[in-house]
Structure formats: structure tokens, C-alpha cells
Amino acid sequence: MTLLGAVLAGGQSRRFGSDKALAAWKNRPLIDHVIGTLRPHVDTVLICGREWNEEISAPDIPGPGRGPLGGLNAAMAYATCHGLDRVLSVPCDVPTLPDSLLRRLKACDEPTYLQEHPVIGIWPSALAATLDRHLAGNIRGSMREWTGLIAAGSPKLLEGEQLPNINRTTDLMTLGSHG
Ligand SMILES: Nc1nc2c(ncn2[C@@H]2O[C@H](COP(=O)(O)OP(=O)(O)OP(=O)(O)O)[C@@H](O)[C@H]2O)c(=O)[nH]1
């Protein structure tokens, strides 16, 4: 089964105070850490909600302001158009995604998201039309609402798996140079 890796990289970064995808950690922007971790797991990487260097990118559908679901909708549309069976979505602000988590999600046949961070999930492209319709009727759909609608599975992190999510500059300081 073919897999599109979608890096959800739009949003406002209000809590961070500046564009957090570009914030440097270990001398590289957060988004580059995420791309580097995701790439070995997928057939194609798509950056959703911004253009980024030479990467393939797509604007949110139906437009900006819909939150992460607008980016996921763009990824589902891209996967459908390019004959990719599934989408593995990740945020741009978790620079140390555990490989074990990505492997576990890839092994799921049904739509599945991580309970602690619903932006991280695996979605069959066959759900593209359902998501598109859902967003067409919502001002700003929430991930929780979407996952409830499709009755997606929701495993938790396993012991030892950590997900340092960077929302504020202090989160980056807490992460330090380890991780
Ligand atoms: N493509 C896309 N991604 C988004 C959008 N909003 C948030 N994201 C991504 O979803 C992930 C989680 O985002 P949040 O931290 O909840 O939201 P944010 O807008 O980035 O930050 P805050 O303004 O502080 O809430 C991050 O990877 C964001 O880049 C959006 O409208 N479009």
C-alpha cells in the first residue's frame, strides 16, 4: 500500500509568538527535523499549508483558517489525485517523532490517530470525500469532531515514547539540546 506523509505546517503559532515551524533546534528548523524523521517511512512527503524549500507542497482546502483539518484535507486530495492509498499526518512542531510510533500507525488498516495528539494519524484516502464534505459544512472543523465522525481508533503513546510538542518558546528551552 502506498503512503503519503503529510506535514501539517500552517496555523498561527500564537502561543509561540513567531512562526514555530522555522524555530531552530539543533541548528535546523523544527520542520526539517519532522521531514527527516517522516521521509524514510513514506513514499512521498507533502508539506500542507506552506511552501518549503524544494518539497512538494499544497495549500489548505477549502482555504486557510480551517486549522489542521484544512491541511489534512489537502493531503487527502493530493493522495487521491496521485493514487496513494493512505495518508500519514504529522505536525511540524514535534521535532522528535518516535519511529516506533510511526511504524505502529503504519500497521493500522483502519483510520487511527494518537490519543495525545490527534494531528498524528493514519487515514485511508478513501475517506477524502467524507472529509471534504465535512469541512464544507464547518467554519473550522476540529480534529476530535472528525475522528468521532469516522469512529477512528485512538491508541495511546507506549511507555518510553515521548512527544515533546513545541507550542511555546519555553517548550523549546525545556527540550534543550537533548531529545
Ligand atoms: N496546514 C495547516 N496546518 C495547521 C493549521 N493550523 C495548525 N496547523 C498545524 O497543526 C499542528 C498543531 O497546530 P497548533 O499548535 O494546534 O496550532 P497553531 O496555530 O500552529 O498554534 P497556536 O496559534 O499557538 O494554537 C501544527 O503542526 C500546525 O502547523 C492550518 O490552518 N493549516
- Topology (CATH) of 3-175: Spore Coat Polysaccharide Biosynthesis Protein SpsA; Chain A (3.90.550)
On the question of pLDDT at 41 being above 80, the answer is: yes
Residues 74-95 have a mean pLDDT of: 98
In the predicted model, what is the mean pLDDT of residues 14-20? 97
**For the segment 48-83, what is each residue's pLDDT rounded down to a tens digit?**
999 999 999 999 999 999 999 999 999 999 999 999
Segment 100-120 shows an average pLDDT of: 97
| Interface ipTM | 0.98
Query: How far is the C-alpha of 6 from the C-alpha of 90, rounded, in Å?
Result: 6
Residue ranges lining ligand 1, Cβ < 6 Å: 8-16, 48-49, 60, 64, 66-68, 70-71, 91-93, 119, 167
**Measured in angstroms, how far is the CA atom of residue 13 from the centroid of ligand 1?**
7
For the chain, what percent of residues have pLDDT higher than 70?
98
Which of 119, 120, 131 is the pocket-test mutation for ligand 1 (most atoms within 8 Å of CB)? 119
Where residue 178 falls among pLDDT bands split at 50, 70, 90? low
Closest by alpha carbon to 21, among 61, 45, 53? 53
φ/ψ of 46, rounded to 5, equals: -125, 130
Q: What is the dihedral of CA 20, 49, 89, 87, to 10 degrees?
A: -160
pLDDT score at 138? 77
Distance (Å, rounded) from C-alpha 16 to C-alpha 116? 20
pLDDT for the residue numbered 137:
86
Cα-based distances in Å from 77 to 23, 59, 106, 129, 166: 29, 11, 19, 8, 28
Ligand 1 atom closest to the Cα of residue 71 is 1
pLDDT of amino acid 176: 83
Span 122-145, pLDDT tens digits: 999 999 999 999 999 877 889 999
Under 8 Å between Cβ of 6 and 75: yes
pLDDT of the residue at 121: 98
Question: For residues 30 and 87, what is the distance between their CA atoms, to the nearest angstrom?
Answer: 21
- Mean per-residue pLDDT for 112-120? 96
